[in-house]
Every structure is written in C-alpha cells, then in structure tokens.
C-alpha cells in the first residue's frame, strides 16, 4: 500500500461559510455542497499535499487521463448527528476497504488508511454543522479518485488525485420507484468491473436507463450478461425481494454485483430480526412467477444513497406488476426503522458499525 510522506493534513478554513444560504431542512440530493473538501495527490509513488480547504473548482490539464480513459472510482457514505450533536459515521471502514479494492481493479494507487480515515474524520468534524437532522436526511460523503497523468495513450496512470467532499442530502428517491427487468443491455459481465465502484459503470448504464424511463420506469433491474436469466442489481443499489415472507437477494459471488455495505447491513439485521434470508442466484422466472401468483409482497433496493428504497412496480416484457401499498411493507419498513435507529445512535451498536467523532 502506498505511503503518505507526512500524516499531517494541512487545514485551510473558508472565510465565508455558505451554510446560511442553505435550508438544511429541505435539501435535494447531490446539489448542495458543504464548505470544505479534502484533496491529496499521488506523485512519484507517494501521497503528498493532503489538505482540507474551501470547496471549489479544480483546474485540470485537457489531457488528464481520467477524462479520456475512465480511470476513476468513487464511494458513498453517510454521516448523521447523534443525540449530543456529535457526528456519527456509518461503516466508514467498509467503504474504505471497498475503495481500495476498486483502486486495485482499476490499476490505481491505493489510499492509505491514515489519509482516508483521518481526512474523512477531520473533514466531517470541520463541517459538522452541515449535517442535517430532519427525518431521512444526512450528510452524504463522496470520496473519489481519478487518474491525472497528462498523457494521450493507454497505460495505467502514475499520478492520481484523491478528494472527499460532502453534501447535505434528503432522500435520493423521495418516492417509491418502478423498475424494469432488462433483458438486452448489460451492466456487468463476469471478469469485468461490475464489483468495482468505477465511474464508467454508471456512464454505461445511462442509455439503457433512458430507454426504461421512456417506457415509464425509473430504474432498471439488471440481469446477468450471459443469459439474462438471473437478476443482479438495480442501477444505484442492490435488490431484495420478499417472497412468502422470506428475503431473497442475488449473491455476490461472480464479481458482477457491487458488494453493497447497506446490502450487508440489511442481511445482518434481517437475520437478527428473525427473517430467513436467501443469498443465491435469483432467476427472473421465479420473480415473475411470484409476481403473478401474489407471493411476492415486497421488493426494495438497498444502497447508501438510496437507503432502503421501496419498489412500487416491476416491469417484465409487456407486463407491469404493481406491488402492494408501502404501508403494508412490514419487512422493508421494519428494516429501515432498525437501520435508522443504529445509524442515529438511538440503540446499542452491537456490530461496531458506528464511528463517533
């Protein structure tokens, strides 16, 4: 793992906070940015110039390789406010670990734990007043890294920039979403980069998703690249079904599905709450059959941005199946309540998921 030559992170605070221009009780997702960001550079095999500074634009050379060849990865995390106003980070070490897995897959430098975690903790502490407290809101944290070689040609970059910024956010999906089972386009193939949080995965999903939107759906349910026979995940989250009272979710064995931190939290909590959870290949045919015979009573996505997002309808070929009303979704609603209690520090954190600042 790469070394950082000094662990000290320079801090330059803004002289004019923007917080008074923002209604933290009513923020859309991803459009409002807190006052500061962490920036560090990888040059000559070491991380240098780590600095927390006022949030602002970057200046980039036109040949910056990430812009041309897509060597770019990111993560998503959230911070909440505890009972005494202290920031609470949810499972940041899991996101840190996944970030470096993505980095390795994309031939990028890894980020040392000291830089990632100390930078994150200091940044969130400095901008703690930006953590919204209204129901369903949080401070979304976006670590990302991109290749900065100024070079036209295909090779792994030698230089990288690592940045963390934060945004106060409300719900990513303010309403339940409809999803369409996709049987032609592919998100990820075995041996590809589907398990990495690579920027290009999201770019490639835009066109098929646009077609789904034209057909009246909000998102896709991706299927496997080989046969389009098995459900994989949705565009922004992992997916769960409740069939005959049991939870069913695609397993993450084949490197085509993102190893979601929220997915893992949901599985852990569901089992503790006494639900049976099946992690295995999920056939499109069994989901469609369960929709037809009414044994599928709930479906939801699980992701950091989306949290637990109710699925209101599932499209399959020419059929659109409407799911039962949200108020009847005992499993997903119970899991969301439980997850929120833990993230907000309202109950004992028996898993060590919450990092208090």
Rounded Cα gap, residues 44 and 338, in angstroms: 46
Q: Which stretch binds ligand COI (CB under 6 A): 6-14, 98-106, 210-218, 297-305?
A: 297-305
Site track for ligand COI across 247-286, x = CB under 6 A: ----------------------------------------
Residues 222 and 182: beta-carbon distance below 8 Å? yes
Binds ligand COI (CB under 6 A): choice among 9, 147, 196, 305: 305
Conformation bin of residue 239: beta by default, left when phi > 0, alpha when psi is -120 to 50: beta
* Residues near 122 by beta carbon (within 8 Å), at least 6 away in sequence: 9, 11, 38, 52
Q: Which stretch binds ligand COI (CB under 6 A): 184-192, 299-307, 312-320, 329-337?
A: 299-307
Rounded Cα gap, residues 306 and 341, in angstroms: 17
Binds ligand COI (CB under 6 A): choice among 219, 304, 309, 332: 304
Q: Which stretch binds ligand COI (CB under 6 A): 51-59, 152-160, 302-310, 324-332?
A: 302-310
Tell me the closest approach of the beta carbon of residue 95 to ligand COI, in angstroms: 9
Q: Which residues, numbered 8-67, are part of the site for ligand COI (CB under 6 A)?
A: none
Q: Which is nearer to ligand COI, 197 or 329 (CB)?
A: 197
Q: Which residues, numbered 63-82, are part of the site for ligand COI (CB under 6 A)?
A: 76
Nearest to 35 by CA among 50, 49, 15: 15
Q: Which residues, numbered 220-239, are part of the site for ligand COI (CB under 6 A)?
A: 236
Site size toward ligand COI (CB under 6 A) is 6
Q: What is the phi/psi pair of residue 200, to 5°?
A: -60, -25
Residues 268 and 276: beta-carbon distance below 8 Å? no
* Residues near 272 by beta carbon (within 8 Å), at least 6 away in sequence: none
Binds ligand COI (CB under 6 A): choice among 132, 168, 170, 303: 303
Q: Which is nearer to ligand COI, 234 or 297 (CB)?
A: 234
Rounded Cα gap, residues 12 and 51, in angstroms: 7
Tell me the closest approach of the beta carbon of residue 181 to ligand COI, in angstroms: 19
Q: Which is nearer to ligand COI, 291 or 309 (CB)?
A: 309
Rounded Cα gap, residues 144 and 119, in angstroms: 13
95 binds ligand COI (CB under 6 A): no
Site track for ligand COI across 105-134, x = CB under 6 A: ------------------------------
Q: Which stretch binds ligand COI (CB under 6 A): 59-67, 188-196, 298-306, 345-353?
A: 298-306
Rounded Cα gap, residues 34 and 267, in angstroms: 32
CB atoms under 10 Å from CB of 179, counted, come to 23
Q: How many CA atoms lie within 13 A of 181 on its CB side?
A: 25
- Residue 35's DSSP bridge partners are none
Tell me the closest approach of the beta carbon of residue 106 to ligand COI, in angstroms: 16
Residues 314 and 291: beta-carbon distance below 8 Å? yes
Residues lying near ligand COI in the complex (CB under 6 A): 76, 236, 303-306
């Amino acid at each position: 793992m790469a070394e950082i030559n000094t662990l000290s992170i320079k801090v330059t605070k803004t002289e004019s906070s923007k917080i008074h221009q923002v209604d933290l009780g009513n923020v859309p997702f991803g459009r409002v940015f807190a006052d500061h960001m962490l920036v560090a550079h990888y040059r000559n095999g070491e991380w240098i110039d780590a600095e927390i500074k006022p949030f602002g634009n970057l200046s980039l050379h036109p040949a910056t390789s990430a812009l041309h060849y897509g060597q770019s990865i990111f993560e998503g995390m959230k911070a909440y406010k505890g009972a005494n106003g202290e920031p609470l980070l949810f499972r940041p070490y899991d996101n840190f670990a996944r970030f470096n897995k993505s980095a390795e897959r994309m031939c990028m430098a890894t980020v040392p734990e000291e830089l990632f975690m100390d930078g994150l903790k200091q940044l969130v502490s400095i901008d703690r007043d930006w953590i919204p407290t209204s129901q369903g809101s949080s401070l979304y944290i976006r670590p990302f890294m991109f290749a900065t070689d100024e070079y036209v040609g295909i090779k792994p970059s030698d230089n990288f920039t690592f940045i963390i910024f934060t945004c106060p956010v409300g719900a990513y999906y303010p309403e339940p979403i409809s999803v369409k089972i996709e049987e032609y386009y592919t998100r990820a193939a075995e041996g590809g980069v589907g398990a990495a949080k690579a920027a290009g995965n999201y770019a490639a999903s835009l066109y098929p998703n646009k077609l789904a939107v034209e057909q009246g759906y909000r998102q896709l349910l991706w299927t496997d690249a080989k046969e389009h026979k098995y459900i994989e995940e949705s565009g922004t989250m992992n997916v769960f079904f409740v069939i005959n009272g049991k939870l069913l979710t695609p397993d993450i064995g084949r490197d085509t599905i993102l190893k979601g931190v929220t997915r893992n939290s949901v599985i852990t909590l569901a089992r503790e709450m006494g639900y049976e959870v099946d992690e295995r290949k999920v056939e499109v045919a069994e989901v469609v059959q369960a929709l037809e015979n009414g044994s599928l009573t709930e479906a939801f996505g699980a992701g950091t941005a989306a949290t637990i997002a109710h699925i209101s309808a599932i499209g399959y070929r020419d059929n659109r199946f409407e799911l039962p009303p949200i108020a009847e979704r005992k499993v997903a609603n119970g899991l969301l309540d439980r997850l929120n209690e833990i993230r907000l520090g309202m109950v004992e954190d028996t898993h060590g998921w919450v990092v208090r600042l």
